[in-house]
Amino acid sequence: MPELVLAEAETNPFLPAIYDITWSLVVLLVVMVFFVRFAIPRFRQILDDRAEAIEGNIAKADDAQRKAEAALEQYTAQLAEARIEAGQIREQARADGQQILAELREQASSEAARITATAKVQIEAERQAAVLSLRSEVGSLAIDLASGVIGESLNDDARASAMVDRFLADIESSENAAPSAGKN
């Protein structure tokens, strides 16, 4: 039977020879194994790796951009904060300065007032002292002068001092009346 097939196969192109079938099977098996086990898995691996790499890079870039944006936002916020803080500090300084200035001014004016008051008191005291000394000196001088003029001894101390006191009281009352009359 195989001989018959072989003989037939010599002239009929549609009858396969045994060795033709053998080698066709071998070829088919080898090619299929090659594509199933090597070519297609490798091809898919390449495509998958590439897709993964591209996705990875995109994700990395996204991440970097997000980070950069966050940093920028943070810096902007910090900058705004710093500006506000600087403004506050400036404001504070100005307020402080004004307060210090006002305090100093007040201090100076109160000092000045105090000095003025002290001076007035001192002047008053000196005036009083001057009046007192003048009163005694003017009294004795006037009595000396008057006793010389009228020739009458006014050595009687009691009478003399009473007369001087009366005289000075007259002067004082006229002094006190004159400014009030001047005002009128």
Please say whether the beta carbons of 167 and 160 come within 8 A.
no
* Residue with the two structure tokens 């199933």: 36
**In whole angstroms, how close is the CB of 25 to another protein at the nearest point?**
7
When the beta carbons of 15 and 146 are compared against another protein, the nearer one is 15
When the beta carbons of 48 and 170 are compared against another protein, the nearer one is 48
When the beta carbons of 45 and 173 are compared against another protein, the nearer one is 45
| Alpha carbon distance 158, 148 (integer Å) | 18
**In whole angstroms, how close is the CB of 27 to another protein at the nearest point?**
5
| Contact positions vs another protein (CB under 8 A) | 9-25, 27-28, 30-32, 34-36, 38-40, 42-43, 45-47, 49-50, 53
When the beta carbons of 3 and 152 are compared against another protein, the nearer one is 3
CA atoms within 13 A on the CB side of 125: 6
